[in-house]
Copies of this chain bind each other. A is one copy, B any other.
Amino acid sequence: VKADFSSLSLRQHALVGVSGGRDSVALLHALAENGYRRLIVCHLNHGLRGRASGEDARFVARLARRLGFPCETGRANVRREAREHALSLELAARNARHRFFAQMARKHRCRTVILGHHAEDQAETVLFNLLRGSGLAGLAGMAAESVLTIPPANRRQRPLALRIVRPLLGVRREAIDTYLQSRRLRHREDASNASAEHTRNALRHTLLPMAEKLLERPVVPALLRTAAIVREEASWLASLCPATEPETLCAPELRSQPVAQQRRRLLNWLRAHGVPHAGFEEVERVRSLLDPAHVAKVNLPGGRHARRREKRLFVQ
């Protein structure tokens, strides 16, 4: 596989997320083949596949042992967490994975996590985000290298910044299959949190193939190209906004800026104020305060509100 390991030094400790499915098995083998020795295999049992879940975990443990890597296995009850916190299965599964990686990162004093997302995953992410009405951050898809900040689990902890590396992001699924076959590597079918990713699987198996048929051309490379363009545009725009916003904002100053800049700054500002679920709707509501003729107070989620007083914006 033409994986991109350029940002991973051989001497560095790193966690590798291994579900036991084809992508993560290929990733782990490719890392081993390329001389990476200081890896810790991390497998989270999402508790979503009944008995098969336990078999996935044992498969991964054996694989790690054979390749000479230590293996950490965690357990979560994603279905229960989803119910209790009123989250989608997909979101609950992601939270559980983040928590697990944070725990392992602390235990092994290691800040790098290597994941097996590949080109089709990226294409799906971009399409999924578009269909959900995402802005540039979503349309940029995943980055080959990014920083994931995990909030503290308790009062003694500080937020944890993990470096996420995705060496297979430019690799097509077909190439992964060929790699596995050429080395006669076994993997678990449908390992991973398959049932938690119902919508995304449907996108992959029905919507993308249908789009290719309609357009009579390959759609995955097109989606990857869009992601590559948008990622750079988004990072340029982000660099044009202040890293931190003041406690209150000057309405006339903000109003004089491009709409896109207003939106980005207000989103950062609402998030810094801890407004929950701040998104496009909330930003647009606050943006309406910039008009001196408009009402001076708007509601925000979580019982908060934003107010304009003496030409400045406040969150209360």
Give the B-binding residues of A (Cβ under 8 A): 126-127, 130-136, 139, 199, 202-203, 206-207, 210-211, 214-216, 219, 221-226, 229-230, 232-233, 235-237, 239-240, 258-261, 263, 280
27 A-B contacts (beta carbon < 8 Å): A127-B130, A130-B130, A130-B139, A130-B222, A130-B226, A131-B219, A131-B223, A133-B221, A133-B223, A133-B224, A133-B226, A135-B233, A136-B136, A136-B229, A139-B226, A199-B214, A199-B215, A199-B216, A207-B210, A207-B214, A229-B260, A232-B260, A236-B258, A236-B261, A237-B237, A239-B258, A240-B240
Q: Interface SS of chain A: helix, strand, loop or mixed? A: helix
Most buried by B among A133, A135, A199, A261: A133
**Shortest CB distance A103–B (Å):** 32
Task: Evaluate contact between B230 and A136: CB separation under 8 angstroms.
Answer: yes
> What residues of B have a CB within 8 angstroms of the CB of A207 in the complex?
207, 210-211, 214
Q: Known contacts being A222-B133, A229-B135, is A235 close to B260, with CB within 8 Å?
A: yes
- CA–CA, A135 and B226, complex, Å: 6
- Tell me the number of copies of this protein: 2
CB distance from A26 to the nearest CB of B (A): 26
The CA of A210 and the CA of B214, in the complex, are separated in Å by 13
> Are B211 and A135 within 8 A (Cβ)?
no
Chain B residue numbers with a CB within 8 Å of A136 are 136, 229-230, 233
Chain B residues lying within 8 Å of A225, measured Cβ to Cβ, are 133, 280
Q: For residue A213, which residue of chain B has the nearest CB?
A: B202
